[in-house]
Amino acid sequence: MILFQQTPLGRMGIAEDDGQIAHVFFEKDSPSVGDEDGEAPVLQEAFQQLNAYFQGRLKTFSLPLCLKGTVFQHKVWQATLQCPYGRTTTYKDLAVYINNPKASRAVGLALNKNPLPIFIPCHRVLGRYGDLTGYRGGLALKETLLQWERGKYS
């Protein structure tokens, strides 16, 4: 089931699977299922938390997440969850954090497959020299999210 709502970032969709948040769709994404109007409580809660995030009232999400991926992807996604609101890290730092210091590129590939951007804050991960690199929603959206967390938008 998917619920679509308007957000400060444009129209977004959130999908659930068995009561857990399974996927986030940005306006430019095309979900693989039809535009369903989800009424699942977890979807309502996800958008309530997302709205609180955009209002600067929520810095950490508390939602049940349905993560489907490899063991390595799970390690990367869990490590990414440790990056605090308003802060950034690098692909290299995440690779070191998961005890695989030569896996910076693999970390980037795992983040590219992140089904839950914003909830798993891959927008907080930068290149080695602090440069913006890859983001499923595009670099402009990544920059917007970083600025949002720094209090530049409201």
The catalytic residue positions are 122
* C-alpha distance from residue 119 to each of 22, 64, 129 (Å): 10, 10, 24
Question: Would you state the structure tokens that stand for residue 115, as one six-digit string?
Answer: 């089904």
DSSP 104-146: HHHHHHHHHT-SSBTTB-GGGEE-TTS-----TT-HHHHHHHH
Distance CA 62, CA 146 (A): 20
**Residue 110 is which amino acid?**
A
Q: What tokens appear for 113 in the block?
A: 């497959």
SS3 2: strand
CA distance 82 to 120: 9
